[in-house]
Chain A
Amino acid sequence: MLLIRLIFKNAFRHRLRSILTIVGVAVALLAFGLMRTVLDAWHAGVSASSANRLVTRNAVSLTQPLPYAYKGRIRQVSGISAVAAGNWFGGVYLDEKNFFANFVVEAEDFFKLYPELVVPPAEAKAFTMDRKGAIIGRKLADRFHWRIGDTVTLRGTIFPGQWPMTIRAIYKGARPDTDETVLYFHWAYLDETMKKRAPSRAGQTGFFMIGIDDATRAAEISKAIDDTFVNSQAETLTETERAFQLGFVSMSEAILLAITAVSYVVILIILAVAANTMAMSARERAGEFAVLKTLGFRAPLLGTMLLCESLILSMTGAALAMALLPPLAGFFTTFLAQYFPIFFVSRTTIVMGLGFGVAVGVCAAAVPAARVGSVRIAEAFRRIG
């Protein structure tokens, strides 16, 4: 107990310095945690991907459409359980600042493909039956205070004109990483309208969402689909949903790399600050360490005491940061909802934060502990007089 008391008393001997170090570690790890959460949010689509889903798009580019007629031929490929046409709609609600993702889908197969979208059966049926119906996520409904039966009009950007629709269903995510900020409406509504407004753009779709029975056959089925359309006017590229989502993420690779680098630089900076604190603390107490050595305390024990002091400071900071991180992330969610629909602190981030707390504590004490161990008693006494 006396040894533990001595370690704690030494850790907080210079109260202001200790508090500033703890606050420094906490702020750095908070920043690290928030940046990790942003990165997680960026990858949310990837982590929410299912191994049993493939996406087929135009081999030239995602912006190039595919003939809707491909659906039937895709359906004939062995191992496929469901196929749904889909398209990024890019509609705007009243103003650009009200951004949210909106897609057209084929309702029946879409619900089979995305069981993580939990919809009351009656609402799902109502949506399926109403060609001008829409289904929205719970968070999107909360954001605009929309209710079932409300009429929402989107202004098309890719598909010009006003697009009124009625909210028929509100879905909830079955998993925490399910995006609840999306609006889906019927591909048929889009297609029928385009037949009237711009017939040349009718009968097309942006991509096909495909369900497969056996995830281990993903590569084989993808190749089979693409082989079906080789040398056609619109060759296809089929990949797993995960690879498809990663394709989006990789567009922002430079930004993500920068955020990752900054998050680690922050850790390095606080490591330098903590190491300086421990070095100062050890230097100031060189005489006391010499006394303890004189009394018979061995170098490993003294080094361990210093290490414990360092860990007390760094882990207090880390625990503080990890306790504050979830509520802080929750606070940011309010402002970032339109950019990061999935913004929550993952368990991995908490573990990493605490892990870096330990690492900072150990690394900060390493050099001072080694020095304390190698101090020659007589020389230390000569220096302190």
Chain B
Amino acid sequence: MDAPLIEIAHLSKSYRRGDQVIPVLSDITFDIAAGEFLALIGPSGSGKSTLLNCIAGIDAVDAGAVVIAGTDITGLTEGALASWRSRHVGFIFQFYNLIPVLSALENVELPLLLTSLSARERREHALAALAAVGLPDRTDHKPSQLSGGQQQRVAIARAIVTDPDIIVADEPTGDLDRQSAADIMALLGQLNSQLKKTIVMVTHDPRAAEAAHLVRELDKGELRVAH
């Protein structure tokens, strides 16, 4: 296995609800190697998504460090973090979160607006990403004209179009039927095996978790190896 790409050390996170402090993650320490496909499982409210958000740099930690490729992202400013995310992380959400007024191609092109690519290069990259997820003929379709599985493929194309080091997926099959879910997991498997993308996935779905190399379970804010 390669050297750790993601190093999480003594990570703690809690939420405030009025005067009440609700601990979510406590003293989490683990590494994820480059090229790993990790599934985080656990009951609702166990802190899976919170941990994923901390790794992806979209939620702040209370204590501890999240070091990715040598950079402790907990010390970055909001602007620097946004810039870091745009270059290093691809996001896949449960409900796809595509922009409804844009076509599939435009949705995929969106993250490339933050790069220095020309309009033609952006379009070429977006077309390649859509082809990679098996939707070369759906470029002009709006999200509402696509099935759930197709929308999730567009979302995956958007996640990989910037060629990030890490793909984080929060319940990527949570809103899909069984066949579509299997197709999406196969696609994630390909991204991991063929493009060597490091994938960190949160899921409730045991079948989805089976596609990962490593499954870790979060329970009451603590992490353990599931299998």
CB pair A296–B83 under 8 Å, yes or no, is yes
Whether a CB of chain B sits under 8 angstroms from the CB of A158 is no
B residues in contact with A294, CB < 8 Å: 56, 58, 85, 91
CB pair A378–B106 under 8 Å, yes or no, is no
Which chain A residues (1-38) contact chain B, with CB distance < 8 Å? 1-3, 5-6, 9-10, 13
Contact size range, A: 20 to 34
Which chain B residues (96-140) contact chain A, with CB distance < 8 Å? 97, 99, 101-102, 106, 109-111, 113-114, 119, 122
A residues in contact with B78, CB < 8 Å: 298-299
Of chain B, the residue at the smallest CB distance from A3 is: B113
Which chain B residues (64-116) contact chain A, with CB distance < 8 Å? 78-79, 82-83, 85-87, 91, 93, 95, 97, 99, 101-102, 106, 109-111, 113-114
CB pair B50–A378 under 8 Å, yes or no, is yes
CB pair B101–A295 under 8 Å, yes or no, is no
Whether a CB of chain B sits under 8 angstroms from the CB of A288 is yes
CB pair B59–A10 under 8 Å, yes or no, is no
How far in angstroms is the closest Cβ of chain B from A143? 55
A residues in contact with B106, CB < 8 Å: 2, 5-6
CB pair A295–B114 under 8 Å, yes or no, is yes
Whether a CB of chain B sits under 8 angstroms from the CB of A297 is yes
Whether a CB of chain A sits under 8 angstroms from the CB of B26 is no
Whether a CB of chain A sits under 8 angstroms from the CB of B14 is no
Whether a CB of chain B sits under 8 angstroms from the CB of A137 is no
Whether a CB of chain B sits under 8 angstroms from the CB of A219 is no
CB pair B119–A295 under 8 Å, yes or no, is no
Of chain B, the residue at the smallest CB distance from A382 is: B49
Whether a CB of chain A sits under 8 angstroms from the CB of B29 is no
Whether a CB of chain A sits under 8 angstroms from the CB of B53 is yes
B residues in contact with A6, CB < 8 Å: 99, 101-102, 106, 110
CB pair B99–A291 under 8 Å, yes or no, is yes
Of chain B, the residue at the smallest CB distance from A12 is: B101
Whether a CB of chain B sits under 8 angstroms from the CB of A287 is yes
Count of A-B contacts with CB under 8 A?
69
**A362 CA to B156 CA, complexed, in Å:** 36
A residues in contact with B109, CB < 8 Å: 2
**A295 CA to B82 CA, complexed, in Å:** 7
**A13 CA to B97 CA, complexed, in Å:** 17
Of chain A, the residue at the smallest CB distance from B87 is: A296
CB pair A288–B111 under 8 Å, yes or no, is no
CB pair A296–B85 under 8 Å, yes or no, is yes
How far in angstroms is the closest Cβ of chain A from B165? 14
Q: For the complex, count residues of B whose C-beta is within 8 A of A.
A: 28
**A279 CA to B72 CA, complexed, in Å:** 36
CB pair A288–B82 under 8 Å, yes or no, is no
How far in angstroms is the closest Cβ of chain A from B96? 10
How far in angstroms is the closest Cβ of chain B from A291? 5
CB pair A295–B91 under 8 Å, yes or no, is yes
Q: Say whether, besides A287-B97, A378-B50, A2 and B58 are in contact (CB < 8 Å).
A: no
B residues in contact with A9, CB < 8 Å: 101-102
CB pair A296–B58 under 8 Å, yes or no, is no
CB pair B91–A377 under 8 Å, yes or no, is no
CB pair A297–B101 under 8 Å, yes or no, is no
Of chain B, the residue at the smallest CB distance from A300 is: B79
Of chain B, the residue at the smallest CB distance from A287 is: B97
Of chain A, the residue at the smallest CB distance from B53 is: A378
Q: Say whether, besides A6-B102, A13-B101, A377 and B59 are in contact (CB < 8 Å).
A: yes
**Contact among B53, B99, B113 with A288 in the assembled complex (CB-CB below 8 Å):** B99
How far in angstroms is the closest Cβ of chain A from B3? 26
Best-surrounded residue of A291, A293, A297, A385 (most CB of chain B within 10 A)? A291
A residues in contact with B79, CB < 8 Å: 298-299
Q: Please, could you name 27 A-B residue pairs with CB atoms under 8 Å apart, sorted by A?
A: A1-B119, A2-B106, A2-B109, A2-B110, A2-B119, A2-B122, A5-B102, A6-B110, A9-B101, A287-B97, A288-B97, A291-B93, A293-B82, A294-B58, A294-B85, A295-B86, A295-B158, A296-B87, A296-B114, A297-B82, A298-B78, A298-B82, A298-B83, A299-B79, A378-B50, A381-B53, A381-B58
Binding site for B on A (CB under 8 A): 1-3, 5-6, 9-10, 13, 287-288, 291-299, 376-378, 381, 385
